[in-house]
Structure 1
């Protein structure tokens, strides 16, 4: 795979994604403080929804009241994309007072912090009464942990983004809305894949906007100097690359490649390669049938010690600790 965008989007992968639909009356407000949601899609299927994202990026620290917020109105057929984890509020108006605060799955309080039983559950993944006339119907899908979405992808996104109706794959959204309320064997896997597909389509459209500030790797992919080197690194991260070899692939001198690559991507080719290798290795280690040694070889390391050292330096944890946290089989490393 030699397309950096495809590489990043292929790593948007739900495992137990949290999806729900909620029907609201004329006046409503919900505050979300879940510290684990790394990326959230909010879709008003009927009615509208104001979304307010706090400037403070650490959920659980910001109080319910007093935070600086930026309201955005999302209409029917549009969506809000929230890059987290960070607190946000949904409501009928930009200044809607939250009647419910969500601290995580199954943990609720009122605005004053007193424990609450939570919303009225009226169906499978459903709160309120969707068939009542005059209600707003909001579908929400989020990834429950940061590992499900590549950190570089999250860094490329603003905290809150409106997704236009022409950027949403309507048949997929309609199917997602329908499937959220279904109870059937394997349904979680169905919802995970539907959310993945919806988000990939949305992100691809967002990054292609002519008026949007493009991430560095989006601009660099078509550059005549940095582009060939970037594609080579993504196509074969396991190869023993050097700046000289990459420069030959781009048809320029080492100095020219290093300067252009740094200008566009903010790092040297070798630093970019190491970061990309560690991201790929983390993904490989999530699989229970991949050993630490196999992950190391797949990203170009023959020495497990060198791999483990690089992994800890870039990821803040050893490969073995990473596997234990994500449920992979423990191996020496």
Structure 2
């Protein structure tokens, strides 16, 4: 898999929170759900995205904001509008005083707001679980990503808007997959911007020397790769390969490979049916002991403790 595929491979969206929001001014929603990632698009009207500690940003119809990380922020019809509703962990919705308004503001299937029609209509999708490969990409993204309607070339927003209000068999799985596809499309657009700071491992995918080596490691983490073999596959000397890889990716080849293997192992460990030995083989470690030692060295926790904590959560 390539680096972007790795974002959503493994613990993809499962039971993601998706909602159509219908609002008449004045309105202001405080988001304290601490979700790892959310996507909010403006279908009609506008919103102001108000990250704590940053200048508010206005979004109009067709624009999208991707919020990364668990920090708090607000959306409103105007930056000066006082908070009316607070969304807490687990998508619990209350007034500022703590009164539950989930049922009170329900507007039908996956629809919510203070209006039946809405001067402003929003579509939001929230990832409730963060996977280890996902975390690797999230570390490379800014907290707030705003993409404008003019730079988006996708019908996925329209399709998601149609599907979110349907109540049919398999609908949750349908919405999860649509959200995954939309996020990948948005990230492609973001990284394609000349002004965006794409992570080194993403930009290096297109390099004639480093790109093929990255794909070999990502597609075949179980292979016992060495710098010499990767350099040979890339058609350059060992020294030239190591130097170019480190310059473009920001880490030496073997350090990148170790990080990739451990990230994949962390995802695989979330499957309770996989043994530690099976996970070790899939990510290139000869024995469970070797994987455990590398995992603890990189993450400060044993694979078993990582699995136990994740399953408990």
TM-score w.r.t. the length of structure 2 is: 0.90
Q: Residue 6 of structure 2 corresponds to which residue in structure 1?
A: 7
Deviation of residue 129 (structure 1)?
Answer: 5.8
Give SS of 2:55's match.
strand
Matched, 1:299 2:298: no
Q: Distance in 1 between matches of 2:204 and 2:37?
A: 25
The aligned runs of 1:76-225 (5 Å cut-off) are 76-111=61-96, 114-119=97-102, 120-128=105-113, 131-132=116-117, 135-147=119-131, 150-168=134-152, 170-225=154-209
**1:153–1:257 distance in 2 versus 1, CA, 3 Å:** same
Alignment partners' CA distance in 2, 1:43 and 1:247: 44
Q: Deviations over 1:96-146 (max 9, x none)?
A: 3211121222534444xx3221351222222136643x5211111110122
**Is 267-276 or 277-286 further displaced after alignment?**
277-286
Alignment gaps of 5+ in structure 1: 55-67, 329-333
CA distance in 1, matches of 2:11, 2:24: 33
Gaps of 5+ in 2: none
SS at match of 2:239: helix
Deviation (angstroms), 1:149: 6.1
What are the superposed Cα offsets for residues 165-185 of structure 1, whole Å, 9 maximum, x if unpaired? 245455321221222223333
Partner residue of 1:69 out of 31, 54, 74: 54
C-alpha distance in 2, partners of 1:319/1:186?
Answer: 33
Query: Structure 2 vs 1, CA of residues 217 and 12 (structure 1 numbering), >3 Å: closer, same or farther?
Result: farther
Q: Is the 8 A contact 1:293 1:304 kept in 2?
A: yes
TM-score, with structure 1 as normaliser: 0.85
Structure 1 counterpart of 2:49: 51
Preserved CA contact (<8 Å) 1:240 1:300: yes
RMSD value, Cα: 2.3
The answer for the alignment partner of 2:21 in structure 1 is: 22
**CA 1:158–1:168: 2 relative to 1, 3 Å:** same
CA distance in 2, matches of 1:185, 1:321: 37
Q: Evaluate the alpha carbon distance shift between residue 303 and residue 11 of structure 1 in structure 2; reply closer, same or farther with a 3 A threshold.
A: closer
1:130 and 1:137 in contact (8 A); partners too: no
Contact 1:13 1:148 in 2 (8 A): no
1:284 CA displacement: 2.0
Deviates more, 1:171-180 or 1:7-16: 7-16
